[in-house]
Structure 1
Amino acid sequence: MTFRTALLFGAAVLSGLTLAPQFPVTGGNYGVIAEAHAETAPATSTDPKVSHAETYKLLTLFGSIFDLVRANYVDPVSDRELITNALNGMLSGLDPHSSYMTEKQYADMQVQTTGKFGGLGLEVQGEDGHVRVVSPIDGTPAWRAGIKPGDYIVAIDGHNIDGSPLNDAVEKMRGKPDTKITLTLIRAKTPKPVIVTLTREIIHIEAVKSALYDKTGYIRIPQFTEDTSEELHKAYDELLKKAGGKLTGGLVLDLRNDPGGLLTQAIDVASSFISNGEIVSTRARHPKDSQRWDAKGHDMTDGMPIVVLINGGSASASEIVSGALQDHHRAVLIGTKSFGKGSVQTIMPIPGNGAVRLTTARYYTPSGRSIQGLGIVPDVSVKESREEPAFSIREADLSHILKNQGGNQTKPPQRSDLPPLASQLPEEPPANWPAFDVTKPTTDFQLQEGLRLVRSMAGVAAPDPVAALPPLPAPAPVSDKTTPAKNEASHH
Structure 2
Amino acid sequence: MKKKYSYILPTLIALAVAIGIFIGGKLHFNDTPEKLFSTNSKKDKLNRLIDYIDYEYVDDINTDSIVDVTVNNILGKLDPHSVYIPKSEMEEVSENMKGDFVGIGVSFYMYKDTITVIRTIKNGPSYIRGIKPGDRILMADSDTLFGRRIPNSTVVSTLKGKEGSKVDLKVFRKSENKIMNITVTRDRVPIKSVDAYYMLTRDMGYIKINRFAESTFGEFKDALKKLKLRGAEKLVLDLRDNPGGYLGIAEKLADEFLEDDKLILYTKNKKGRIKKAFATKKGDFEDKPVYVLINERSASASEIIAGALQDNDVGTIIGRRSFGKGLVQREMDLGDGSAVRLTVSRYYTPTGRSIQKSYKKGHRDYYQTFMERYSSGELISVDSIKVADSLKFKTPKGKIVYGGGGIIPDVFVPIGSNEEEAIESMDDTYEFFSRFIFEHLEKDRNRYAEFTKNQFLDEYGVDDILLDEFIQFMLNRKIKIDFYAQEDKIKAYLKANIAEQLFSPNISAQIKGEHDTMLEKVKELDAAIFKQSEIGVLDLEN
Q: Tell me, yes or no, if structure 1 residue 453 matches structure 2 residue 525.
A: yes
Residue aligned with 1:344, SS: strand
Q: CA deviation at 1:174?
A: 5.9
How far did residue 106 of structure 1 move? 3.1
Query: What is the Cα deviation at residue 99 of structure 1?
Result: 3.0
User: Against the structure 1 CA distance between its residues 218 and 84, is the aligned structure 2 distance closer, same or farther, given a 3 Å change threshold?
Assistant: same
Cα distance in 1 between the residues matched to 2:489 and 2:328: 38
Paired with 1:453 and 1:370, the residues of 2 have a C-alpha distance of 29
TM-score for the superposition, normalised by structure 2: 0.51
Q: After superposition, what is the alpha-carbon deviation per residue over 1:451-477, rounded to whole angstroms, capped at 9, x for unaligned?
A: 22234334589xxxxxxxxxxxxxxxx
Contact kept in structure 1, 2:83 and 2:340, CA below 8 Å:
yes
Offset, 1:120: 11
1:32-51 aligned at under 5 Å gives the runs 32-36=28-32
> 3-state DSSP class of the match of 1:113?
helix
Matches within 5 A, 1:325-474: 325-373=309-357, 394=367, 396=369, 427=414, 435=489, 437-438=492-493, 439=496, 440-459=512-531
CA contact (8 A) 1:260 1:314 kept: yes
The equivalent of 2:539 in structure 1 is: none
Aligned twin of 1:279: 264
**Using the alignment, how far apart are the partners of 1:254 and 1:301 within structure 2?**
16
Correspondence for 2:25 = 26
Question: Which residue number in structure 2 is paired with residue 182 of structure 1?
Answer: none
Asked if 1:227 corresponds to 2:211, the answer is no
Q: How does 1:87-106 map onto structure 2 within 5 Å?
A: 87-106=71-90
Q: C-alpha separation between the residues in 2 aligned to 1:392 and 1:174?
A: 36
Change beyond 3 A, Cα 1:394–1:280: farther
Structure 1 residue 322: deviation in Å?
0.8
How far apart are 1:241 and its partner, in Å?
1.6
Change (3 A) 1:42 1:373: farther
Conserved 8 A contact 2:256-2:284: yes
Q: Distance in 1 between matches of 2:38 and 2:237?
A: 44
Deviation string, structure 1 residues 358-386 (Cα, Å, up to 9, x no partner): 111111111111111279xxxxxxxxxxx
Give, as a single letter, the amino acid of the residue that structure 2 aligns with 1:443. Answer: H
> Identity over aligned residues, as a percent?
26
CA distance in 2, matches of 1:69, 1:203: 49
Name the counterpart of 1:270. Answer: 254
Deviations 1:373-409 (A, max 9, x none): 279xxxxxxxxxxxxxxx99848569xxxxxxxx967
5+ residue gaps, structure 2:
1-16, 109-120, 122-132, 134-147, 161-168, 170-188, 372-386, 400-408, 421-484, 497-511, 534-542
Gaps of 5+ in 1: 1-9, 14-20, 45-51, 123-138, 145-156, 160-168, 180-201, 376-390, 399-406, 462-492
Taking a change above 3 Å as real, the CA distance of residues 61 and 218 of structure 1, as seen in their structure-2 partners, is same
| Candidates 229, 235, 241, aligned match of 1:257 | 241
Query: Cα–Cα, structure 1 residues 206 and 226, in superposed 2: closer, same or farther, change >3 Å?
Result: same
1:205 equivalenced with 2:192 (yes/no): yes
Structure 1 SS opposite 2:28: strand
| Distance in 1 of aligned mates of 2:346 and 2:389 | 16
- Secondary structure of 1:359's counterpart equals strand
Change in CA separation of 1:38 and 1:64 when aligned onto 2, cut-off 3 Å: closer
Q: Deviations over 1:295-327 (max 9, x none)?
A: 113442231122111011211111111111111
- Residue 3 of structure 2 is matched in structure 1 by none
Change (3 A) 1:348 1:60: closer
2:287 aligns to what SS in structure 1? coil
The number of residue pairs the alignment matches comes to 337
User: What is the aligned partner in structure 2 of residue 305 from structure 1?
Assistant: 289
Q: Indicate if the aligned counterparts of 2:87 and 2:339 stay in contact, CA closer than 8 A.
A: yes
Question: What displacement does 1:412 show?
Answer: 8.3
